Amino acid sequence: MNDRPSTVLYEVRDRKAYLTLNRPDRLNAIDFHMPGDLAAAVKRANTDTDVHVIVLQGAGRAFCSGYDLKISAEEGQGTQGSGGGDPVWDPIKDYAVMKQFTDDYFTLWRSLKPTIAKVHGFALAGGSDIALSCDLVVMAEDARIGYMPARVWGCPTTAVWVYRLGAERAKRMLLTGDTIDGRTAADWGLVLESAPPAELDTRVEALADRVAGVPVNQLAMQKLMINQAYDNMGLQGTQLLATLFDGITRHSPEGRWFQEFAAAHGFHEAVRWRDSGRWIPEGGGPIPTREDLEG
């Protein structure tokens, strides 16, 4: 019997299911349990006759900081889906792991009941995959969202950036790995709306209450009708390609360089270099010295 506490809390009030990512000591970073726990919570809400709408949120200071990669990056452990240090890379094994994670996140999108993400603090890297899998996203104005591993060692497997932003702004985000605040995300149409941090809870509750007043069968039909348009636009094929590319990025020469950098100087130092805009050597190259880091 598995008595491990879930990484996703579940609560129901007033026809709303509240799913809370619950690793606040790690800023709700994604471990190997969270995707499955999230999918199980979404399934529970869909079978709960008292629930009309699902609200996804994060405990503590942030929505989700992305994958918890410190150990795998620094030690090359837990690869085939999370790192880059295996001596022999099995691309299909890697794909199977990441495809399952992506399918788990996308239970939010495939859910017959509408899903609303409430984003505070930040939704970064894999955390942005989770948030953008929801039907509606409301962000605090000062929250940040982005996919920084687009610079090296990652590709967003849910692949929804282009569907939400259009080609040019999706390229603007994924060719730079930059983050944007909630106000900009709402202005660009990446998320539904932004709110002052003190008003975020109230805004989300008002939206969820409005949705919760609609019969479940009406909600399901409207959502299925809209979602099939994205399927007809090739969403599933785009996700397949993105998931394959994600594995390749972690095992390319540049991906190996990043992992070796993290092993030498720590994951946070490697991330600092990546996000600073400093040169990432093509084909790998020598690992920066301590003097390089301080220069």
With contact defined as beta carbons under 8 Å apart, do 174 and 242 qualify? no
- Phi-psi sector, 80: left (phi>0), alpha (psi -120 to 50), beta: left
**Whole-prediction pTM value?**
0.95
- Judge whether 52 lies within some domain: yes
Q: With respect to residue 55, please indicate whether it lies within any of the assigned structural domains.
A: yes
pLDDT band at 72 (very low <50, low <70, confident <90, very high): low
pLDDT bracket for residue 81 (50, 70, 90): very low
The reply to whether 276 falls in a domain is no
CATH number at residue 245: 3.90.226.10
Q: Residue 178: which of 191, 167, 169, 165 has the closest Cα?
A: 169
Nearest C-alpha neighbor of 121 from the set 98, 149, 146, 104: 146
Q: What is the pLDDT of residues 118-173, one digit of tens each?
A: 999 999 999 999 999 999 999 999 999 999 999 999 999 999 999 999 999 999 99
For residue 196, tell me if it sits in a domain. yes
Kindly indicate the confidence band of residue 86, based on its pLDDT and cuts at 50, 70 and 90: low
Q: Is 263 a member of any domain?
A: no
Distance CA 156, CA 163 (A): 13
Range of the domain at 116: 8-251
For residue 237, the model assigns a pLDDT of 97
**279 within domain boundaries:** no
Look at the chain and report how many structural domains it folds into.
Answer: 1
Flag whether 193 is in a domain: yes
